Amino acid sequence: MKRFGVLGTGRITRRLVADLQSTEGVEVTAIASRTAERARWYADQYGIAAAVEGYQAMLGRDDVDAVYLSLPPSLHAEWSIAAANAGKHVLCEKPLAATPLEAKAIDQACREAEVRWLDATGWLHHPRTTAAANWLQEGRLGQVGHVSAAVSFYQPFQSDDHRLDPSLGGGCLLDLGWYVAGLARFAVGELPLQVAADVLIREGVSQRLTAMMWFDSNITATLSCGYDTATRKWFEIAGTAASLVCDDFTRPWAERPTRCWIHDAAGKVEQHSFEGSQERAMIELLASDQPLEQWQRQALETQQILAALQKSASAGGQKMAV
C-alpha cells in the first residue's frame, strides 16, 4: 500500500496531503472532487498528477491502493464502505462516521474485503501519546481518578463549511467532541458507564458541549469543547500519585517543543519533550502490516460515547448509559 487517492477537497485536505507526500514510500497519485474543474485546481495546487471527476471514478483506478477520505461526516460511511468494496484501504477523517451503526458498518465492510482502515486521529500516534500510555500502564500516576479535556477554536469556519450544516454532520459534538471523548476513553482504557451532556445550539448545530462521564472504579471525566472560546487543546489525567498535563494534545503547537508535564503530589514538575510527526506515524502504521485493532476499537468506542452524549443532550442533560 503505497499509492493514495484523495476523496474530497475540503479544508482539512491540504494538511494531510502534505503529510502523505512527505511519508517515505507513500505517494499521492490522484485527487477526486465532484467537478472536474475543482479536482484539477486542487491537483495543481498540491502537485498531484491525476484529477478525477467523481468519487466512484477514483475507486476504479488501478494506480490507487488506498484512499484518504476527507468528506463531511455524513458521507464517511457511504464512501468508506464503497472504497472497501473496491479493494482500497481506508484512512477516514474524523469522526469515523455519523453514528455507531455506520462506524460498525465501515469496520465490517473492511474486514470482509480484507482491507485495512484507520480514522485520521493523528494525536493517538505521536510518540508523546505512546509515552503517556506507558506511564498509565506502569502506574506512574497511581490510580487514575479523574480526567479533564478541553478543545476549542473560536469561529474557525470558512464559506460553505460543513460544520455549520446539520445535514452533513456539522456541529462541535462530532467534530471537537471526537477529541475530548477520545482522550477520556484513551486515558481510562474503556467505555464509560454513563454520561451526561449539555449543548449550546446556534444555527441548528452544537456550538458548545459540556459533559460529565462516569467510569468503573469511581473514575470520572469532564469534557468541554466548542466554537465560541479561544483555542484550547489540553488535558489533565489526575491520579493518586501524580497528574499528567498537556496543553496541545490534538496537534503540537508550531515552533515549540512537543511536551507534557508530570506534576507529583509534592509539587515537583517534570517536563518531557518529544519529536516526530504524528500524521506520518499514522500513515506509516496504516501502510504497514502491523495490527490495527487497538486503534480501531478506540474509534468505534469513541463513536459510541458521542452517540450517548448526543442522546443525553437531547434529553436535557439526563444521565445516559453508554
Cell numbers standing for residue 237:
489525567
The DSSP secondary-structure symbol of 65 reads: S
Beta strands in the chain (DSSP E): 3-7, 27-33, 50-53, 66-69, 89-92, 117-119, 144-152, 194-202, 205-214, 220-226, 232-239, 242-246, 258-264, 269-274, 320-321
Distance CA 251, CA 267 (A): 27
Amino acid at 279: E
The answer to whether 249 touches 220, Cβ cutoff 8 Å, is no
Distance CA 207, CA 203 (A): 9
Q: Which of 94, 233, 268, 319 is catalytic?
A: 94
For residue 216, the surrounding DSSP H or E stretch is: none
Cell numbers standing for residue 294:
487497538
Whether 233 is a known active-site residue: answer no
Distance CA 240, CA 143 (A): 5
Distance CA 209, CA 201 (A): 9
Cell numbers standing for residue 217:
472504579
Distance CA 179, CA 138 (A): 24
Which residues belong to the active site?
A: 94
